Structure 1
Amino acid sequence: MKQFLAFVRKEFYHISRDKRTILILLGMPIVQIIIFGFAITTEVKNVRVAVFDPSKDEVTQKIIDKIDANEYMNVIARIDNQQDIQTTFKEGKADIILVFGDHFGENFRHTGDASVQLITDGTDPNTASTLTGYVSNVISSAQQELSGQYKAPLTITPKVKLLYNPGMKGAYNFVPGVMGLILMLICAMMTSISIVREKESGTMEVLLVSPVKPIYIILAKAIPYMVLSGINIITILLLSVFVLDVPIAGSLVLLFGVSLLFIIVSLALGLLISTIAETQVAAMLVSGMVLLMPVMLLSGMIYPTENMPVMLQVISNIIPAKWYIIAVKKIMIEGLDVFFVLKEIGILSFMAFVLLIVSLKKFNDRLE
């Protein structure tokens, strides 16, 4: 019994010496419970509603006011020109647009029947269904009030139109997310493990005393994972088009260019992790805690970040996969050109620059 207790005591001593292990063992459950508790929600909040209302009568204004008074929705814009509807979605200014017909109120009172079109982005089918459901419920409530006011059976029929994904296929949403997740895991996790393996086995010192400069050693380790990532992108796109029926609406060259930029960011993250971790297991755990879980929960891959608390939204902004997934959706699903993804390209470029500088500096410091 004493020997058993001695082994137990020894294991506690061993764990207490490694602060990173303690952080992973004690910190990861806390982070998981916070993220799972707040990020995973089926509610859609802060819905941005735009309105095209050529009638501008009492009935349409009552419906608009009722939508604006809803706790989940805000009317943020009035569209004066029908041609601006598509532009509003391309620029990401609204989540759903209400389009009233000409003489809406007059038709509603005289014929007892009127229709309003609900236009939303179908690239995320779950969110699109929730948005149209919210607005349809508010319109139904307004219809009941108006029916009592005019003492007649009146009907407002919402007609839903889904842009980019009219069939509401789930693949349109998860394909960009899978691309971001796979690239992050292959480039960041495998690169960090590969470099740490060299340090752990003692062969890194042998490589560093060779005539080859350290930067070339790092590049030699990064290039294979870059090539594998390129192959994975091609495979995912082929499966998306020919198996999942997800079209590539935009420029294939631009899509590969943004993917290459994201690969560089991921490789820099892997290099940074390799300067922190001392063992392969530690590198894998750090990669899983710092990369895998945030990418799945805070990048918008599964759940819209707009529905999360403000603090988690701020944290999601520093996750590279979020900006990559947004860019892929714009290029691949919506078919937008480079001018509409300049923000995402700029953020990823800045992240790549900062991560490369910090990673190479820390790597050189470790060598010294």
Structure 2
Amino acid sequence: MKTFVAFIRKEFWHVLRDTRSLVILLGLPVVMMILFGFALSSEVKNSNVAILDYSNDDASRLLIDRIDQSQYFSVKERLTSEAQIERVFRRGEARLVIIFPQNFQEDLSHTNQAQVRFIGDASDPNTSNIVINYASSIFRDYQNELTEQKKLPYTIETETRMLYNPQLKSSYNFVPGVMTLILMLLGAMMTSVSIVKEKETGTMEILLVSPMRPLLVVLSKAVPYLFLCFIDVVIILLLAVFLLDMPIRGSLPLLLAESLLFILTTLSLGLLVSAVVDSQQTAMFLSLVGFLMPALVFSGFMFPIENMPLPLQIVSNIVPTKWYYSIVRAIMVKGLGFSYVAKQTLILAVMTVVYLTVAIRKFKIRLA
């Protein structure tokens, strides 16, 4: 055991002396959280809007003022004809054009209905849909104000409630996603690269013929990264709570324990990669392309898995990030307990055992 502790201490000193590795390990979570929190948010704000107002009455002016005062829009241009619409979109001067017909207020007053046209720039379809939905909500609010003043013979009222995230903050989605991506990338890449570096320099053979068993040699290489990745989890949670105002609704000890399990899974993957490759470039390429891309696609963070074809849905089941992302969302956002994440926990535990077993056997075969 003293020899094992000595090996771990040696690996810690190797990591601490490598400034670049420390910057990646401890700086990447902070940078990604700030970027996703303030620069890469899924919310669309301050969108430029062009207005074509044929009616120019009190009702249309009131709605235009409300649009301009909204945090989501900024009225940048007033058009005089529909021929100008294409020019606005070609130059990228607006994401949305709103057209008020003639006699807008009069139609509302006498016929109780009026038509307003939204024309969006669908070169970016997702953003266009979001912008149109924002604008539609402003018009619906105005319509509700009008209908409350009149008693209609028949009305259907809908009540909408958003559970877990009533303000629709994007941080509730990207914080679990960023945690998943960072741990997968750092745990797998840093571990595999550090071991392959020993193989390239020829020092791994010296370590493996030492009196300590190969299993302990391999595990001692992973322990420092286990500790540093766990620190990354703490940093991300602190940033989420104090910088992005995202509460942790579930059990914090349970969340930390699940994160520790996922870190073990990623470290096992890194050990497996280091067992089958012989160069740092190959290890880094496998970690970035082989792990990061599936983590982005199949975790459910950026793309709903339910929308994928059935074969891809089946493939997603063997990607660890899918299960950890589900666990973090359940605990952090929904406040659920262990009984709701027991299945995902078991799957990650099995994956960890399988990856670690294969990695250790590969190293034993190489010793023989």
Question: Normalized against structure 1, the TM-score is what?
Answer: 0.58
Give 1:158 deviation, angstroms. 2.4
User: SS of the residue aligned with 2:158?
Assistant: strand
- Aligned residue in 1 for 2:317: 317
- Aligned residue in 2 for 1:114: none
Structure 1, unpaired ranges of 5+: 1-41, 43-125, 141-151
- Aligned residue in 1 for 2:233: 233
Question: Which amino acid in structure 2 is aligned with residue 248 of structure 1?
Answer: I
User: SS of the residue aligned with 1:246?
Assistant: coil
- Aligned residue in 1 for 2:354: 354
* Counterpart-to-counterpart distance in 1, 2:356 and 2:156: 57
- Does residue 165 (structure 1) correspond to residue 192 (structure 2)? The answer is no
Instruction: Indicate conservation of the 8 Å contact 2:214/2:363, yes or no.
Output: no
Give 1:361 deviation, angstroms. 1.1
Q: Deviations over 1:307-334 (max 9, x none)?
A: 1111111111111011001001101110
- Does residue 192 (structure 1) correspond to residue 192 (structure 2)? The answer is yes
Question: Which amino acid in structure 2 is aligned with residue 318 of structure 1?
Answer: I
* Counterpart-to-counterpart distance in 1, 2:251 and 2:297: 28
Q: Deviations over 1:69-104 (max 9, x none)?
A: xxxxxxxxxxxxxxxxxxxxxxxxxxxxxxxxxxxx
Q: Note the 1:114-125 alignment, pairs <5 A.
A: none
User: SS of the residue aligned with 2:161?
Assistant: strand
Instruction: Indicate conservation of the 8 Å contact 2:298/2:321, yes or no.
Output: no
- Does residue 334 (structure 1) correspond to residue 363 (structure 2)? The answer is no
Question: Which amino acid in structure 1 is aligned with residue 196 of structure 2?
Answer: V
Q: Deviations over 1:311-364 (max 9, x none)?
A: 111111111011001001101110011111111111111111111111111221
- Aligned residue in 1 for 2:273: 273
- Aligned residue in 2 for 1:209: 209
- Does residue 177 (structure 1) correspond to residue 177 (structure 2)? The answer is yes
Give 1:153 deviation, angstroms. 6.4
* Counterpart-to-counterpart distance in 1, 2:351 and 2:310: 22
- Aligned residue in 2 for 1:301: 301
User: SS of the residue aligned with 1:161?
Assistant: coil
- Aligned residue in 2 for 1:58: none
Who wins on radius of gyration, i.e. which is larger?
A: 2
Instruction: Indicate conservation of the 8 Å contact 2:186/2:229, yes or no.
Output: yes
* Counterpart-to-counterpart distance in 2, 1:277 and 1:155: 68
Instruction: Indicate conservation of the 8 Å contact 2:296/2:302, yes or no.
Output: yes
Number of aligned residues: 224
User: SS of the residue aligned with 2:159?
Assistant: strand
Q: 1:207 to 1:322 in 2, by over 3 A?
A: same
Q: Deviations over 1:127-169 (max 9, x none)?
A: xx99xx8xx9xxx9xxxxxxxxxxx964323221000101100
* Counterpart-to-counterpart distance in 1, 2:175 and 2:320: 17
- Aligned residue in 1 for 2:290: 290
- Does residue 261 (structure 1) correspond to residue 261 (structure 2)? The answer is yes
* Counterpart-to-counterpart distance in 2, 1:366 and 1:281: 20
Question: Which amino acid in structure 2 is aligned with residue 201 of structure 1?
Answer: T
Question: Which amino acid in structure 1 is aligned with residue 270 of structure 2?
Answer: G
Residue identity over aligned pairs, in percent, reads: 52
Give 1:300 deviation, angstroms. 0.7
Q: Deviations over 1:233-271 (max 9, x none)?
A: 000000000011110000011001111111111111001
